[in-house]
């Protein structure tokens, strides 16, 4: 198919036009970096979440799922390090009042320089960031005469750390002790429930705990649509292993997660690994699975070997013993006894996965018809397995008993998968609308159906049509969505 393009702005408009994603509170001019999923988007998101949940819990005997609350005891975030360390260095321009993440400001400037100077600037920035030298970062910005993109001046405030956690008050009295946070990740809900789940589920190491849910980060530089949001959803799994075996499991999850992305239709060449060079203090290995978004290669999922850091921290702050009694192995094959398990984490953003799927699916196609004239369409080639609507049922005319037959088929199929019924407009127009929504199959009921019980099925991706018995439709769609 000629002339396929993939334009990010057009994807964003398309998502709005067809009920996938709306700006939050659009009626009041919107809330920055917060989005609502519409009737199509909510279903696609649910299908992705369900696929992940199934692959993690149902298909792994040793992984169970939980649903921990968003609000947690404030000490959780002290223990995890988020109160003290979950921050980005920021700087404000005094003339425009625009706030920048220091690393983004310097990196953008580096892009305007020739290679050697750019590398020297980034190396110096990394050194200052690693040593938390905020004054040094300000000097670096000033000595390189880095300007604000709005005011075009170098009139900067001091650099300061800006914590990304949202806080709120619990209870009626607004005292410091009542401050709690909206969780910036779901992982801590898993760590604090490690013993509960291990004991009640009689889980034996190695085992995992999975969870999906909302997370909140007061991102300063929030752009690129749903790539970086202030309220988003994570799908995380913490895998608890024997100390010393973490690299084996890290490699296992690295492979397994990439294969999973491929299983939902992301081509292998659009995915790559990016090993972290600078590791967080608690990690002994970390990598991102990156996807080639319309704006470049970016993190889709993180795989982290977190050692025993989290459980040890929670044991320390809660003054409780958080250990596992391993009655396997020995003599001299080791364990046999108590230890703090090591953790390998897989963490993928559901919204980023959604963006991945739609940016791959969106296509504008043009072609020449047999009579030489040009035709075109916008189509969302979402894999059938995750498409919000699987089948459109379209009576050719709104009379002659055709709607009745269509309704019968609808009633049969909707028990098994999402269907869409439409009887208005010319059939070609209805097909185009279904292409734009991403419905993989359309079925048309016409006068011949009344005679021989056959229907026309039209395939979204190829636009080919064939006549088949109506009784085969349900199985055909179910098979394609399996
Ligand atoms: P980034 O470097 O892009 O800010 P991160 O390294 O902070 O991401 P993690 O803390 O590892 O991200 O979170 C795990 C996953 O959660 C990420 O791989 C991403 O898919 C998702 N995620 C993180 N922050 C956001 C956000 N603000 N909006 C949407 N998804 C996010």
8-state DSSP, 396? S
Judged against a pLDDT cut of 90, whether residue 266 lies above it is answered with yes
**pLDDT class of 1 with cuts at 50, 70, 90:** very low
8-state DSSP, 296? E
Same fold, 2-86+166-358 and 90-159: no
Judged against a pLDDT cut of 80, whether residue 221 lies above it is answered with no
Judged against a pLDDT cut of 60, whether residue 113 lies above it is answered with yes
pLDDT of residue 331: 60
* Nearest Cα residue to atom 30 of ligand 1: 349
* Nearest Cα residue to atom 8 of ligand 1: 299
pLDDT of residue 332: 64
pLDDT of residue 3: 36
For ligand 1, is residue 229 a contact (CB within 6 Å)? yes
Give the position, in ligand 1's atom list, of the atom nearest the Cα of 349.
Answer: 20
- pTM of this structure: 0.90
pLDDT of residue 62: 97
For ligand 1, is residue 211 a contact (CB within 6 Å)? no
pLDDT of residue 373: 93
CB contact at 8 A, 389 and 436 = no
For ligand 1, is residue 236 a contact (CB within 6 Å)? no
- Average pLDDT, stretch 159-175? 83
CA of 337 to the centre of ligand 1 (A): 37
**pLDDT class of 2 with cuts at 50, 70, 90:** very low
Topology given in CATH for the domain delimited by 90-159: Herpes Virus-1 (3.30.40)
DSSP 297-366: EEEEEEEEE-TTHHHHHHHHHHT----EEE-S--SSS---EEEPPEEEEEEEEHHHHHHHHHHHHEEEEE
For ligand 1, is residue 228 a contact (CB within 6 Å)? yes
Q: Does domain 389-480 have CATH number 3.40.50.800?
A: yes
CB contact at 8 A, 293 and 356 = yes
CB contact at 8 A, 428 and 416 = no
Across the chain, what does the average pLDDT equal?
93
**pLDDT class of 305 with cuts at 50, 70, 90:** very high
Q: What is the pLDDT of residues 224-258, one digit of tens each?
A: 899 999 999 999 999 999 999 999 999 999 999 99
Judged against a pLDDT cut of 50, whether residue 4 lies above it is answered with no
Q: Does domain 2-86+166-358 have CATH number 3.30.930.10?
A: yes
- Average pLDDT, stretch 109-131? 91
Judged against a pLDDT cut of 50, whether residue 127 lies above it is answered with yes
pLDDT of residue 31: 93
* Nearest Cα residue to atom 9 of ligand 1: 302
CB contact at 8 A, 176 and 63 = no
Domain spans of the chain, in order of start: 2-86+166-358, 90-159, 389-480
Judged against a pLDDT cut of 60, whether residue 43 lies above it is answered with yes
* Nearest Cα residue to atom 14 of ligand 1: 347
Judged against a pLDDT cut of 50, whether residue 139 lies above it is answered with yes
Mutate to test the pocket of ligand 1, among 234, 236, 238, 298 (most ligand atoms within 8 A of CB): 234
**pLDDT class of 222 with cuts at 50, 70, 90:** low
For ligand 1, is residue 232 a contact (CB within 6 Å)? yes
Higher pLDDT pick, 239 / 88: 239
For ligand 1, is residue 292 a contact (CB within 6 Å)? no
Q: What is the pLDDT of residues 329-365, one digit of tens each?
A: 666 667 668 999 999 999 999 999 999 999 999 999 9
């Amino acid at each position: 198919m000629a002339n396929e393009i993939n334009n990010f702005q057009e994807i964003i408009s398309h998502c709005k036009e067809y009920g996938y994603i709306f700006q939050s509170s659009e009626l009041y001019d919107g809330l920055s970096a917060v989005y609502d999923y519409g009737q199509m988007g909510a279903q696609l998101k649910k299908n992705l979440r369900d696929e992940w949940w199934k692959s993690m819990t149902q298909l792994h005997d040793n992984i169970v799922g939980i649903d921990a609350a968003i609000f947690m005891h404030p000490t959780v975030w002290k223990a995890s390090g988020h109160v003290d360390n979950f921050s980005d260095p920021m700087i404000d321009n005094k003339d425009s009042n625009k706030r920048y993440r220091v690393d983004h400001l310097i990196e953008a400037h580096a892009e305007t320089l020739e290679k050697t100077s750019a590398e020297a600037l980034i190396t110096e920035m990394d050194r200052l960031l690693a040593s938390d030298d905020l004054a040094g970062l300000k000097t670096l910005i000033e000595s390189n005469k880095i300007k604000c993109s709005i005011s075009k001046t170098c009139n900067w405030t001091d650099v300061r750390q800006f914590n990304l956690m949202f806080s709120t008050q619990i209870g009626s009295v607004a005292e410091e002790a009542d401050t709690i946070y909206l969780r910036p990740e779901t992982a801590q809900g898993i760590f604090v429930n490690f013993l509960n789940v291990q004991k009640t589920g009689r889980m034996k190491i190695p085992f995992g705990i999975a969870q999906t849910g909302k997370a909140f980060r007061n991102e300063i530089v929030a752009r690129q649509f749903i790539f970086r949001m202030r309220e988003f959803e994570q799908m995380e799994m913490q895998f608890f292993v024997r100390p010393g075996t973490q690299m084996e499991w890290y490699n296992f999850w690295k492979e397994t997660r990439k294969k999973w992305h491929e299983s939902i239709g992301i081509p292998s060449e659009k995915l790559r690994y990016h090993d972290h060079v600078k590791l967080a203090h608690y990690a002994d290995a970390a990598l991102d699975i990156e996807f080639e978004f319309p704006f470049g290669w970016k993190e889709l999922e993180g795989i982290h070997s977190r050692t025993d850091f989290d459980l040890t921290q929670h044991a320390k702050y809660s003054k409780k013993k958080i250990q596992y009694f391993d009655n396997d192995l020995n003599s001299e094959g080791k364990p046999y006894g108590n230890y703090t398990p090591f953790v390998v984490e897989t963490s993928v953003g559901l919204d980023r996965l959604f963006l991945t799927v739609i940016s791959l699916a969106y296509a504008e196609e043009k072609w020449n018809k047999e009579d030489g004239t040009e035709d075109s369409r916008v189509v969302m080639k979402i894999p059938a397995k995750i498409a919000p609507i699987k089948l459109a049922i379209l009576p050719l005319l709104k009379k002659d008993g055709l709607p009745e037959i269509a309704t019968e088929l609808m009633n049969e199929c909707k028990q098994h998968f999402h269907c869409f019924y439409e009887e208005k407009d010319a059939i070609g127009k209805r097909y185009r609308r279904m292409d734009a929504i991403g419905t993989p199959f359309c079925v048309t009921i016409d006068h011949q159906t009344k005679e021989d019980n056959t229907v026309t099925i039209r395939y979204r991706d190829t636009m080919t049509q064939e006549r088949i018995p109506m009784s085969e439709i349900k199985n055909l769609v179910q098979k394609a969505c399996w």
